[in-house]
A and B are shown apart, each in its own frame.
Chain A
Amino acid sequence: MAPITALGETPLAAPARRRRGLQARRRRRLNLFRYVAFTVFGAFFLLPFLAMVRFSLEGTTLGTWSVTAWTQIVSYPGLLSAVEITLELAVLTCVVVLVLLVPTMVWVELRVKWISRTVEFLCLLPLTIPAIALVVGLAPVYNRIRHYELSALMLFWAYVILALPYAYRALSAGLVSIDVKTLSEAARSLGASWFTVMVRVIAPNMRQAILNALLLTSALVLGEFTIAYLLLYTNLQVALYSISRNTPNAGVLFATSAASLLFALFLLLVLSYVGRRRRGRG
């Protein structure tokens, strides 16, 4: 905006004034549009959530308030174990994604560049294979897995695949922003092992990218339903779904849903705050 007024001011006073009026009007209109848009979209995103919270606080008679549903989360049969499984799955999936992806991507960048297109293609492939289609092919694989281990934690094998595209994008954004080659050559020439290079040189330099990958992966696991449901495992979403189908205990259903959404939001805000501070300093 500034260059226009500066340009017009000296030689042609009258058009400049007109233009400034035009600018101001446009700015006012733009601001009005922005306020309306933020209000309308804000309401659209907030209202369903508020309705869910309000419903979870409903007392025995309509219009009263009570926290019974929230206290029932702990005692409701099967719910707490589903929460526990889901959180464990989130941690396990995050760890496996990082251990699988970071060394591979760094190694490819350093030593086997010719393979990088293949790795990228495979990492982004799950985007074109919907979870609902993948699960059809995963069923026989999981039949085999069930011979050895029945725990729902085994879902992490499939979740890592679902998280691949998101984690890959986050990590590759981090990798291009640092000079992996120079860093690792410097470290290696000072005698560092490959393990040290990964953990103490590369990883700290792409902290932001790793955090992003972790965030996306855990958000995905917390909200995953399709694979768990169709492979007959119980995670949080499946537990909520079966509560809604079998025992219409509306209160505890909405309380848990609201809590899981709140938790995901909290996780995200913490991570984005940590990330911002890092970037600001660097």
Chain B
Amino acid sequence: MAVAATTEAGARPGRPGRRLSAPAWVGTVPFFAYVGIFLLLPTGIVLYNAFQNPTGGFSLSGLKALGNPEIRGFFWGSIELCLVSSLTGAVFGAILAYAVASGNPDGVVRRLYLAVSGVLAQFGGVTLAFAFLVLIGPVGLLTHASWYLDFPWGIAVIYAYFQIPLMVLVFMPAMDGLKVQWREASENLGASAWQYWRHVGGPLLAPAFLGAALLLFANALSAFATIEAWENQIAYVVPQQISTVLNSEVGLANVNEADVLALGMIIMVAIVMTGYALLQRRAARWLR
């Protein structure tokens, strides 16, 4: 081993630095090829199809479908659910994040809550809908909530199960960034707790809070499994409608409806995520 290493190293001076004639970026080709085929190509297909008319020419008629009242209804449904779910998730998540952050930084509680949040934020699958079904659904063990199948509050409660943990994960760095010294300084100057939050803590956390709320909004927008398992007879939101279109063989009149809906979703998420990125940059000014 050592000998081999020495000889190879010894041979090196004979062949100066550039052993391969290929430029260095060739090493990234597998990555770009993979992403190109399985991310950029599908996105391109959606874009391309959204701008096709039924006979195959370029047209904006697909986009006109977005003005169709029925389709607009799905988008309003999505927006309503995402607003309700992101606001409740953000508020309760921030409260929980504060409770966790104000404790011992190496404590068991903090470790447990962060670890569990990591799993729950990801685990919004069909199992989540089942769990709430047996807790508060028609056969619920805790209560038979009459609002369980109400849109949007019934599903918003279920979404809170992954929105709150996500908020904890995203908002935690901002909470940790609040320095004890700032609180002490404001107290030394005679500020009450309310004044501290109103003039120091609140404004510092506001960009991070809004940014995190936007992230939750995008998260609720893309969620599909839970709402499909919760209620699959009526389509309330865009993802459900995409699924209906993809699964039905009839309705060839608007073959590219799924593509148009998908494009609408991509645009919405892109806007929301841009806002998130801008707010994060603003938040990073103080919290490092």
A residues bordering B, Cβ < 8 Å?
Answer: 1, 3-4, 7, 19, 26, 30, 33-34, 37-38, 41, 44-45, 47-49, 51-52, 54-55, 100-101, 103-104, 107-108, 111-112, 115, 119, 122, 125-141, 157-158, 160-161, 164, 189-192, 215-216, 219-220, 223-226, 229-230, 237, 240-241, 244-245, 253-254, 257, 260-261, 264-265, 268-269, 272, 276
Contact = CB atoms under 8 A, between A and B. Distances in A.
B193 interface: yes
Nearest to A257: B127
B229 A241 contact: yes
B153 interface: no
B134 A136 contact: no
A136 B41 CA distance: 11
A130 B140 contact: no
B28 to A, nearest CB: 6
What are the 6 closest A-B residue pairs judged by CB atoms, nearest first?
A: A137-B42, A130-B222, A225-B225, A48-B131, A133-B262, A191-B5
B193 A26 contact: yes
Nearest to A136: B262
B8 A244 contact: no
Contacts of B65: none
Given A55-B134, A137-B44, A225-B125, A34 B225 contact: no
Contacts of B180: 1
Contact of B38 (A1, A54, A157, A189): A157
Contact of B96 (A4, A37, A137): A37
Contacts of B6: 191
Contact of A139 (B27, B92, B225, B246): B246
B258 A34 contact: no
A128 B270 contact: yes
Interface of B is mostly: helix
B43 A129 contact: yes
A223 B5 CA distance: 46
A225 B228 CA distance: 10
B125 A52 contact: no
A240 B229 CA distance: 10
Interface of B: 4-9, 12, 24-25, 27-28, 30-32, 34-35, 37-46, 92, 95-96, 99, 102-103, 109, 111, 113, 115-116, 118-120, 122-128, 130-132, 134-135, 140-142, 160-161, 164-165, 180, 184, 187-188, 193, 218, 221-222, 224-225, 228-229, 232, 238-239, 242-243, 246-247, 258-259, 261-263, 265-266, 269-270, 273
A8 B92 CA distance: 36
A131 B242 CA distance: 11
Contact of B25 (A112, A127, A128): A112
A134 B263 CA distance: 10
A104 B123 contact: no
A189 B11 CA distance: 11
A6 to B, nearest CB: 11
A51 B218 CA distance: 29
A138 B126 contact: no
Contacts of B120: 45
Given A160-B38, A253-B130, A261 B123 contact: yes
Given A104-B31, A132-B224, A241-B126, A51 B41 contact: no
18 contacts: A4-B187, A104-B28, A112-B27, A119-B28, A122-B32, A128-B218, A128-B270, A130-B224, A133-B266, A137-B44, A138-B38, A160-B34, A189-B9, A191-B8, A191-B9, A230-B243, A241-B126, A269-B115
A16 B4 CA distance: 72
A33 B98 CA distance: 10
B96 A41 contact: yes
A136 to B, nearest CB: 4
A52 B4 contact: no
Contacts of A112: 24-25, 27-28
B242 A37 contact: no
Contacts of A119: 28, 31
